[in-house]
Amino acid sequence: MTGGQLIDESIREWLARDALPGLQILHASALTGGYSNANILLITNTGDRYVLRRYLHHNTCAVETALAGRLAGIVPVAEVIAADPDGAAANQPVMLSRFLPGDLVSTVLPELAPREARELGRSVGAVLAAIGTVTFPRPGFFDGPDLVPGPDGMEPTADLPVFVDRCLRTGNAHHALTPAEQQALRQHSTQVAPVLGAVHGSHQLVHSDFNPKNLLAAHHHGAWTITAVLDWEFAFSSTPLFDVGNMLRFRNELPEAFTDGFLTGYDTTGGCLPDNWRELSQTLDLFAIADFLTRPTEHPFFGKAIDLVRKLLPANATNGTWLDPTNTSDGSPTP
């Protein structure tokens, strides 16, 4: 079997016994993408293709399996063939799903003419609107197959300044941000946080990593469509504006036509863009940016997060002349 070293003996036994009985795996190869888990393409003797997902860090197998069932017929997601959420049979948490055709949007987008980029953007926006039609009893995070958000009383859009401060204190920001820049980021989060009161209590499905590298697209009958939304490991219940902010986080790297199509597609197929959507989505995305500061400095997004932080801050915060506005000119704390 090609790539056999990718699959432990216990997983091979699980595949043969429980997931794909009677089938022979002829090929196994690593799929690109995914920083937290390993995805492996399997091809059987019948020519069928599957994706084996190994959970190497945080185990969200039960949640992702349940979401796949919940989203069937609503959002393009891969059908789950078998799963071992607690690793009792495969000796580690694993999920096997059908392989869906298509290319990563991040791969095809740079090659598209503006008209096609706009068309693809509209398809992406419509899919995000469809995700938002899935609702839950309350906001919060999933920790099991019941998909009941928790803990009770959790509000994912609250306490932004506290979260930013914790990320700065426990992460690696001190390797790249000056003390003045760190303090300016704290002040910025405090200034922008009040706007999020408008979305407190939202309880729609949030993908939380909704961007071109987690979307598959295909060109059929002269039109671009989304064939799959991948990697639901970070999903939770709150406002879809988290996903809008995620998609537009690196807006300068996206074709303008794609961005326009995305916003139009989302807004015209049931998504809600309030008048201050840009402010709300950028403020919500600060949760993710701050979290990136806790990653190892060699992580692909650590440096990009530093760049984003510096774009948020006033120029005098990055040249070392910024003063904490909560302090008086003589250095005494403001009462």
Three-state DSSP string of the chain: CECHHHCCHHHHHHHHHHHCCCCCEEEEEECCCCCCCEEEEEEECCCCEEEEEECCCCCCHHHHHHHHHHHCCCCCCCCEEEEECCCCCCCCCEEEEECCCCEEHHHHHHHCCHHHHHHHHHHHHHHHHHHCCCECCCCEECCCCCCCCECCCCCCCCCHHHHHHHHHHHCCHHHCCCHHHHHHHHHHHHHHHHHHHHHCCCCEEECCCCCHHHEEEEEECCEEEEEEECCCCCCEEECCHHHHHHHCCCHHHCCHHHHHHHHHHHHHCCCCCCCCHHHHHHHHHHHHHHHHCCCCCCCCCHHHHHHHHHHHCCHHHHCCCCCCCCECCCCCECC
Q: Which of 39, 117, 35, 124 is nearest to 76 (CA)?
A: 124
> Over its length of 335 residues, how does the chain's per-residue pLDDT go in tens digits?
444 468 999 999 999 999 999 999 999 999 876 566 899 999 999 999 999 999 988 899 999 999 999 999 999 999 999 999 999 999 999 999 999 999 999 999 999 999 999 999 999 999 999 999 999 999 999 999 999 999 999 999 999 999 999 999 999 999 999 999 999 999 999 999 999 999 999 999 999 999 999 999 999 888 999 999 999 999 999 999 999 999 999 999 999 999 999 999 999 999 999 999 999 999 999 999 999 999 999 988 899 999 999 999 987 665 555 444 444 333 333 32
Q: Which of 68, 93, 100, 78 is nearest to 14 (CA)?
A: 93
Q: Which amino acid is at 114?
A: P
* Domain parsing of the chain, residue ranges: 23-99, 104-318
In the numeric block, which tokens belong to residue 311? 């774009």
Residue-level pLDDT at 37: 84
What does the angle CA 194 – CA 197 – CA 201 come to, to the nearest 5 degrees? 155
Residue-level pLDDT at 335: 29
Residue 323: how many other CB atoms lie within 10 Å: 14
The domains spanning 23-99 and 104-318 adopt the same CATH topology: no
Residue-level pLDDT at 214: 96
104-318 homologous superfamily: Aminoglycoside phosphotransferase (APH), C-terminal lobe (3.90.1200.10)
* Range 23-99: architecture per CATH: 2-Layer Sandwich (3.30)
Q: Which of 50, 46, 41 is nearest to 78 (CA)?
A: 50
Residue 158: how many other CB atoms lie within 10 Å: 14
